[in-house]
Structure 1
Amino acid sequence: MNMKPNFSLLSKLIVLQCLSVLCCSQDFDFFYFVQQWPGAFCDTKHGCCYPKTGKPTADFGIHGLWPNYKDGSWPSNCDPDSVFDKSQIAELMSSMEKHWPSLSCPSSNGLRFWSHEWQKHGTCSESELDQRDYFDSALKLKQKANLLNILHNAGIKADDGFYSLESIKEAIKNGVGFTPGIECNVDAKHKSQLYQVYLCADTSGSDFIECPILPTSRCGSQVQFPKF
């Protein structure tokens, strides 16, 4: 007896397979490259824990390289099968420890932090960057945007002083060439302090661009730049 192929079933299987591929290689419009000031991370009621390698240098550290859409939304956890593999970044490890430290408690070697960043954000950029290139791109963007030097040259120093939000934005725009987004948090006394700086990069993670959309600022007009 001749069996006729079930084209309906085949069509469904093909569609499901295509959807699976799309989920794992989701497109996006740009990256947020986010750096955070350790003094502000630690200077809250929650406190912080230094990495097992010791207290980081007083410099902005990388928080992440996050794929985003122009409408303000973002993809996340795009490929649950793509797990973080520290062997892929073995040659980057010393730079990662210096420029991408974890200050979360308990004290760690950074691997948990980096694994989270890869699985939540990095997997959504696999159509552009593999695991090594993802972390390497963030490190190279950090070199291009030395925020501490830029702010210091503008007379804005991590000395517990207060500076106008607009002067911070202007200094970074003049130094990097593009408008930053500024995120603040509050210390134990509820003072607004400089916490994170958002810059935007193209989908290759190579060059900064003007941000299609910036995160909403919750900063006061005067912002403290806490010591670390």
Structure 2
Amino acid sequence: MLALLHIAVALPLAAALPTSLDRRAAETCPASSPLSCPTPSGSVDTCCTNSPGGQMLLTQFWDTNPVTGPTDSWTIHGLWPDHCDGTYDSTCDSSRVYTNISAILSEGGAQSTLDYMNVYWKDYNGDDESFHEHEWSKHGTCISTLDPDCYSNYQPQEEVVDFFEKTVELFKQLPTYDWLSAAGIVPSNSKTYTLAQLQAVAKSRFGQPITWGCRSGVLNEAHYGYYTRGNVVSGEFIPADVDKSTCPSTGIKYVPKTGGGSSTSTTSAPGSTSTAPSGKVFVNVISGSSTKGCLISTGKWMIGATCAGYTVSGSGSSITLTTSKGSCGIVSGAFTCGSGVSATNFSKDSSGNLVYSSNSQFHASAVPSGTTQVSVVTGTAAQSIKLNLA
């Protein structure tokens, strides 16, 4: 998978977004709306027919190196509005590229969706927020029926909430791991499978063959195709044959997720025991004598989120840190990472703890819980912590 590169701007949240039920009732389309594929001829109401991106793909990952997400579930890649011929547009509206997806969802009444995404919509580099931003900006902005002009009484960013809620809704209907398992296709370091076996499961459960993706003969992606009738929020999703599998006909490896992650039956915090991506470190938070969560890509402290991979440059008494957001430094007394941040020189003590101004003690207002993000500060605060580079 390639690194995600994009330019985005943070916009303020609307004061109040409609509830989920309000959004879903916002627009209705006639039952006579044409199917999104084949490409409808003549004039098309793009608020009631996804066009030109009429071939919707719900895409899933099976990431094993590094292990990403639960060990007994595939994870979400995205919802992609491809053209009917398989080509696609990307980043269709730069004015709606956001860097605060988590906040938009939380403020938009979709906290439960965000909580689910924190387990099942994971970035293999540990930067979930940037991954979600990328999927929205590259693909979500190209879904015509989510254009703001298609909403009555539009509230800024409500289409963002609809995009993520619909993607999660579709993913829950497509339990790839369970379907394969029920057919005797289970992760193994010794067994191999055929493409015909995989497609038999897809046809039986989904009703159509799907695109199975392999890399060097190792299964790692599943793309479920739909044509749609009506808008994405409340319209009909019809399974379609969009098979462009890249797996060989025989000898397909379905490798177990080992060395990290957790089963969905456990309560371990995602990412809390996994290994940092090659060339990067996690910044674990030590409170008292125990590890309690880690820093995400913006430099804030969370528990229950995938740790961000930090790149360490320099050595000895002078090191700098960067994440996918940008350089890390002390800004107004808070540890912060971002594109406009000037890198601060830190050092490490003998235990691998980050040191700033000859002090390895940092502070926070409280221990975070749920999806709360807490700032790490250099000044005095209620919670004394250390930042350990693991």
Give the % identical residues. 22
What letter matches 2:164 in structure 1? F
Q: Are 1:136 and 2:145 matched, yes or no?
A: no
Q: Which residue of 2 aligns with 1:200?
A: 225
Q: Which residue of 2 aligns with 1:111?
A: 129
**Alpha-carbon shift at residue 58 of structure 1 (Å):** 3.1
Give me the whole-angstrom Cα distance separating, in 1, the residues matched to 2:185 and 2:58: 21
Query: Retained in 2: the 8 A contact 1:193–1:226?
Result: yes
Greater strand percent: which structure? Answer: 2
What letter matches 1:165 in structure 2? L
What letter matches 2:145 in structure 1? S
Q: What are the Cα deviations for residues 26-85 of structure 1, in whole angstroms up to 9, with x where unaligned?
A: 63212111111122xx1xxxxx375xxxx6443100111111111221111100010233
Q: Which runs of 5+ in 2 are unaligned?
A: 1-49, 148-158, 258-390
Q: Which residue of 2 aligns with 1:61?
A: 75
Matches within 5 A, 1:87-106: 87-90=103-106, 91=111, 92-104=113-125
Give me the whole-angstrom Cα distance separating, in 2, the residues matched to 1:98 and 1:208: 27
Distance 1:197 1:49, change over 3 A: closer
Greater helix percent: which structure? Answer: 1
Query: Retained in 1: the 8 A contact 2:219–2:247?
Result: no
Selected match of 2:176 from 144, 147, 166: 147
What letter matches 1:217 in structure 2? T
Q: Which residue of 1 aligns with 2:353?
A: none
Selected match of 2:209 from 147, 159, 179: 179
Q: Which residue of 1 aligns with 2:91?
A: 77
Give me the whole-angstrom Cα distance separating, in 1, the residues matched to 2:209 and 2:67: 32
Selected match of 1:121 from 139, 143, 146: 139
**Alpha-carbon shift at residue 218 of structure 1 (Å):** 4.2
Selected match of 1:222 from 230, 241, 251: 251
3-state SS of 2:219 partner: strand
TM-score by length of 1: 0.74
Q: Which residue of 2 aligns with 1:18?
A: none
3-state SS of 1:178 partner: coil
Give me the whole-angstrom Cα distance separating, in 2, the residues matched to 1:224 and 1:113: 26
What letter matches 1:100 in structure 2? W
3-state SS of 2:222 partner: strand
Equivalent residues, number: 185
**Alpha-carbon shift at residue 208 of structure 1 (Å):** 4.2
What letter matches 1:68 in structure 2? D
Give me the whole-angstrom Cα distance separating, in 2, the residues matched to 1:171 and 1:216: 14
3-state SS of 2:95 partner: coil
Q: Which runs of 5+ in 1 are unaligned?
A: 1-24, 43-47, 187-191
Give me the whole-angstrom Cα distance separating, in 2, the residues matched to 1:181 and 1:70: 15
After superposition, the CA RMSD in angstroms is 2.2
Query: Retained in 2: the 8 A contact 1:38–1:58?
Result: no
Distance 1:193 1:208, change over 3 A: farther
**Alpha-carbon shift at residue 119 of structure 1 (Å):** 0.5
Give me the whole-angstrom Cα distance separating, in 2, the residues matched to 1:115 and 1:215: 26
Please identify, of 79-88 and 67-76, the stretch whose mean Cα deviation from structure 2 is larger.
Answer: 79-88
Distance 1:142 1:208, change over 3 A: farther
Larger RCO of the pair (alpha carbons < 8 Å, separation 6+): 1
3-state SS of 1:163 partner: coil
Distance 1:137 1:221, change over 3 A: same
Q: What are the Cα deviations for residues 169-213 of structure 1, in whole angstroms up to 9, with x where unaligned?
A: 111221122211111012xxxxx11111111123444524213x4
Query: Retained in 1: the 8 A contact 2:77–2:121?
Result: yes
Selected match of 1:38 from 30, 38, 63: 63
3-state SS of 1:132 partner: helix
Distance 1:148 1:56, change over 3 A: closer
**Alpha-carbon shift at residue 126 of structure 1 (Å):** 4.7
3-state SS of 1:64 partner: strand
Query: Retained in 1: the 8 A contact 2:210–2:222?
Result: yes
